[in-house]
Amino acid sequence: MDGIHDLGGKQGFGPVNFVVSKEIYHQPWQLKANALSAALVAAGLFNMDEYRHAIERMEPRHYLNASYYERVLTACASLCVEKGVTSAAELEKLAGGGFPLARPSVPGRHGRKDVADFAVGERVRVRNEFVPGHIRMPGYIRGKTGVVVQMSPPFPFPDAAGHAMGEEMEPTFDVRFDTAELWPESSDKATVTVAVFRSYLEKAA
């Protein structure tokens, strides 16, 4: 989905602020939120793609203003409500006020069965698709052409796994793009390598 979370290659956000610190958690609730997400995944309540998609579904203004661990907590709470573990009313009662949750999801999709594996050195194009549900393809490579440099072991296909449609295993291909292909006249001469699921690719003409 083209959400506010997909910031790769976008301009106007200024430099990334990076603070060198040994502190991972700055407040006790942050540690609890992170532990909660790990415990719920381990218990099988949801998988990592469902978790990522819940964060993607946050209201854009909430997403931009939320800290990392607030996004973690929002995703966990949203999925617990959606899977019937608790209710929005119960969360608001415990919080003593409003408790923002992720927006509703849409149906996912299965991987393509008509795509063969690609060979190292082969030129490929990323499909120019706009997917309303969960997808693990950065928007800046959509419709772009690159070269396969490596094939990786299969992983669950995100578009299905993120919607509880089962874990369809599919390989990813490391595709190397020229920056001039990704951002014409707006980049230094370099390359960018992205792991791309097979269903997102097609042979370049």
Residue from 142, 149, 198, 153 nearest 176 by CA: 149
| Other CB atoms within 10 A of residue 122 CB | 15
pTM across the whole model: 0.90
Per-residue pLDDT of the chain (205 residues; tens, 9 = 90+): 788 787 777 778 788 777 787 788 989 999 999 999 999 999 999 999 999 999 999 999 999 999 999 999 999 999 999 999 999 999 999 999 999 999 999 999 999 999 999 999 999 999 999 999 999 999 999 999 999 999 999 999 999 999 999 989 999 999 999 999 999 988 889 999 999 999 999 999 7
The three-point CA angle 25-1-109 to 5° equals 110
Which residue ranges make up each domain of the chain? 1-105, 123-203
Is domain 1-105 annotated with CATH 2.170.8.10? no
Architecture of domain 123-203: Roll (2.30)
Could you give the CA distance from residue 60 to residue 5 in angstroms, rounded to a whole number?
A: 8
Residue from 56, 5, 195 nearest 118 by CA: 195
